[in-house]
Chain A
């Protein structure tokens, strides 16, 4: 069995704003092994990006309060490490690809120079060696004329090409973990397909663990082996992609999938989730989804644990774990 690169246990954190404290994550569990692509899915405000940023402590220090749990990255206890040692991991052991490739690149620098600086920063290569690596990095992300692209500025490239450059940069130090936060959301579908297969291939070739954040269940289904579903900062369900998406057990996951128009009958209304997103300034006790849940019963006033239904599939729902429960 491959080793764990990321091991997040019961992570809770909050943001302090204007005197009030907003609970952002509660008891989040997430594990990623080498070479594995794990999807993190949820709607806006579910805590997807915060979870990813927490792994490298990229959250604004002034307002972030870690209230419980631990993050272990490849043997390092992140929450107990000082800023300098976590900074050493960023870019080198943990690569990042964000949604908008234009803002991730420096508009005043050629592609070649940007990559050159990243490579020099994270390696002991000489200038000439680093120049050669720039060329190789671009080739690896299937940029066909690297000698031309090297001398171009970001604005001269298409969105897909820019995202390839960002991926080349993120992968240039051969990181153990690649965090891809909505990497294809700003791209066209045909380009999206290319970028996703590129990420898949790189992860396989380099044995890189990938955390793929997406709101698109199709992207998750196509790319990931496991998936974790977040709702309001809590993991409601996690497991093998096939299990979770084909046989969702949490009422939220079920509702999310049923609200997709893809297979809905045209003469019927789409299913929607009733009620409103909880106010996280006062995180309600008990099951976070209960106020919107059609299956709610007395027990839901207590917080459900994320328990396995089988070895590959866990769900945080009392209806699934009570005696005789299960839908």
Chain B
């Protein structure tokens, strides 16, 4: 794969969090010289356990944290670096969080929630995409109805709320969507619906996904390539087929072996 097709290039990024407790300085090297690329149209999976740096990477990509060193290049432009003032392409990268209960403002109507990201994009773009017909189109694209637009989040089930969060991510017509554990809080049958939706809108809107998850079944089904994180380092990056069939690193093997797989456990 050549760099030409890369939508996102993460180049040896580092992030250390410093905390002080009872006068003791504590350094947590959350992301260690990490590099990877995401190709246009690809679903790139990041897997790892808590503390492995998954969410720190998502926050760095979303400009919610600053890098200590390294750089992030998106669509040919540097969007994050330790030096200078790179311009962040608001609207081009969007995120869907794990828990739709806490990620939707309870006082806003669904319409306000979906329109909110437009506040941070340029006026040109707002003209281009922010019409009310667009909100309507999106709410239908995620499987909800027009009358839902005037309701509040608490009137929806978990699966429906995640659909709203997805519509909110799409309003700015992003190129890359970061999906941070988007189905972990959902029931199995609802998870299947949301995964189908994510697949369908990827084709419809020509999206590239960074899919962060600890659920190997979902990753195996959805991702083209998978990166395995362990304590802030990317220990293995492989194609879907190879990582599940022939993991190379010990940690990847351990991680995959720990997943209780109903179908395999039944074959014993």
Chain A interface (Cβ < 8 Å from any Cβ of B): 43-44, 159, 188-193, 196, 215-223, 242, 245-246, 255-257, 259-264, 266, 269-273
- The reply to whether B218 and A190 contact each other, CB–CB distance below 8 Å, is no
Q: In the assembled complex, which residues on chain A have CB atoms less than 8 Å from the CB atom of B265?
A: 218, 221-222
Interface of B is mostly: helix
- The reply to whether B260 and A262 contact each other, CB–CB distance below 8 Å, is no
- The reply to whether B261 and A269 contact each other, CB–CB distance below 8 Å, is no
Known A-B contacts A188-B49, A255-B189; the reply to A260 vs B266 at CB < 8 A is no
B192 at the A/B interface (Cβ < 8 Å)? yes
Q: In the assembled complex, which residues on chain A have CB atoms less than 8 Å from the CB atom of B262?
A: 217-218, 220-221, 245, 257, 260, 262
B66 at the A/B interface (Cβ < 8 Å)? no
- The reply to whether A188 and B214 contact each other, CB–CB distance below 8 Å, is yes
Rounded to whole angstroms, the CA-CA distance of A271 and B158 in the bound complex is: 19
Rounded to whole angstroms, the CA-CA distance of A196 and B192 in the bound complex is: 26
Q: In the assembled complex, which residues on chain B have CB atoms less than 8 Å from the CB atom of A263?
A: 263
Rounded to whole angstroms, the CA-CA distance of A246 and B196 in the bound complex is: 24
Rounded to whole angstroms, the CA-CA distance of A177 and B211 in the bound complex is: 40
- The reply to whether A272 and B193 contact each other, CB–CB distance below 8 Å, is yes
Q: In the assembled complex, which residues on chain B have CB atoms less than 8 Å from the CB atom of A260?
A: 188, 192, 217, 262
- The reply to whether B263 and A222 contact each other, CB–CB distance below 8 Å, is no
From residue B253, how far is it (CB to closest CB) to chain A in Å? 11
State which of B189, B214, B216 has its C-beta within 8 Å of the C-beta of A273. Answer: B189
- The reply to whether B192 and A259 contact each other, CB–CB distance below 8 Å, is yes
State which of B191, B193, B255 has its C-beta within 8 Å of the C-beta of A189. Answer: B255
Q: In the assembled complex, which residues on chain A have CB atoms less than 8 Å from the CB atom of B218?
A: 261
From residue B238, how far is it (CB to closest CB) to chain A in Å? 16
- The reply to whether B217 and A190 contact each other, CB–CB distance below 8 Å, is no
From residue A245, how far is it (CB to closest CB) to chain B in Å? 6
- The reply to whether B49 and A189 contact each other, CB–CB distance below 8 Å, is yes
Q: Given known contacts A193-B260, A222-B260, A262-B220, what 9 new A-B pairs fall within 8 Å (CB)?
A: A43-B188, A189-B259, A221-B260, A242-B266, A256-B188, A261-B195, A261-B218, A261-B221, A262-B216
B248 at the A/B interface (Cβ < 8 Å)? no
B258 at the A/B interface (Cβ < 8 Å)? yes
From residue B224, how far is it (CB to closest CB) to chain A in Å? 9
Q: In the assembled complex, which residues on chain B have CB atoms less than 8 Å from the CB atom of A189?
A: 49, 214, 216, 255, 258-259
Rounded to whole angstroms, the CA-CA distance of A262 and B261 in the bound complex is: 8
- The reply to whether B189 and A43 contact each other, CB–CB distance below 8 Å, is yes
Q: In the assembled complex, which residues on chain A have CB atoms less than 8 Å from the CB atom of B260?
A: 192-193, 196, 216, 218-219, 221-223
Rounded to whole angstroms, the CA-CA distance of A159 and B51 in the bound complex is: 12
Query: B50 — nearest CB in chain A belongs to which residue?
Result: A188
Q: In the assembled complex, which residues on chain B have CB atoms less than 8 Å from the CB atom of A259?
A: 188-189, 191-192
